[in-house]
Amino acid sequence: MQFEGRVFVIQSKSEARKAVKYLLSFPRVGIDTETRPNFKPGAMHPVALLQVSTSEACFLFRLNRIGLPDCLVQLLTDEHTQKVGLSLHDDWAQLRRRTDFQPVNYIELQDYVKPLGIQDMSLQKLYANLFHQKISKAQRLTNWEADVLTEPQKRYAATDAWACLRLMEETDRLLTTQAFELIDNS
């Protein structure tokens, strides 16, 4: 399973301003980040990519090129647009290394899905439990600072942000309808 909507790679601050203006018109967006992998103990790369998705379009902000501009900080601190993600504590910490800000109006999926009784909180497992479909993680350890992102990288990154949004919507539906059954696997 992968995101099939439109993917926009944002590589300038002017493109970022236009994308953020569009994203601020939505009540809820999915978010995620990608960082170039490090294979040396102790070294850490700055977050390279911020993905923000609606149900139909995903914007890949190349932070390694544009930094974390004011317009993106505005989105992350906007009280009207809810941000939905997984392991957001880590994402916020990484993003704050670029620019200090206090995120507002966000939902951590790992907390939100707890009433469903799901034990494994990885994005791949959550998605498999709720939709019975697999999300590939093949691109996870690729170079997110590459001059040009490959099509598989773009789809992978977009899928992660979009899947967060989709998981939130499905969790809302299940909790509202109570159309789920807790199964004890112990």
Strand 106-108 with 47-53, pairing:
unpaired
CA distance 90 to 58: 21
Q: What is the pLDDT of residue 63?
A: 98
Compute how many other C-beta atoms are within 10 angstroms of the C-beta atom of residue 67.
Answer: 15
Q: What is the pLDDT of residue 39?
A: 63
CA distance 144 to 32: 13
Q: What is the pLDDT of residue 62?
A: 98
Q: What is the pLDDT of residue 101?
A: 96
* Domain boundaries of the chain, sorted by first residue: 6-177
Instruction: Tell me if 104 sits within 8 A of 98, measured CB to CB.
Output: no
Sign of CA dihedral 164, 166, 167, 171: positive
Q: What is the pLDDT of residue 67?
A: 96
pLDDT tens column, 72-82: 999 999 999 99
Site of tokens 């350890």: 141
Q: What is the pLDDT of residue 182?
A: 66
What CATH class is the domain 6-177? alpha beta
Q: What is the pLDDT of residue 41?
A: 72
Sign of CA dihedral 97, 103, 109, 111: positive
pLDDT tens column, 28-65: 999 999 998 876 676 678 999 999 999 999 999 999 99
Which stretches of the chain score pLDDT less than 50?
none
Q: What is the pLDDT of residue 186?
A: 58
Compute how many other C-beta atoms are within 10 angstroms of the C-beta atom of residue 1.
Answer: 14
17-22 contact pairs (CB < 8 A, 24+): 17/69, 17/71, 19/52, 19/59, 19/61, 20/71, 20/72, 20/74, 20/75, 21/71
Q: What is the pLDDT of residue 140?
A: 65
Q: Which of 152, 145, 163, 128 is nearest to 53 (CA)?
A: 163
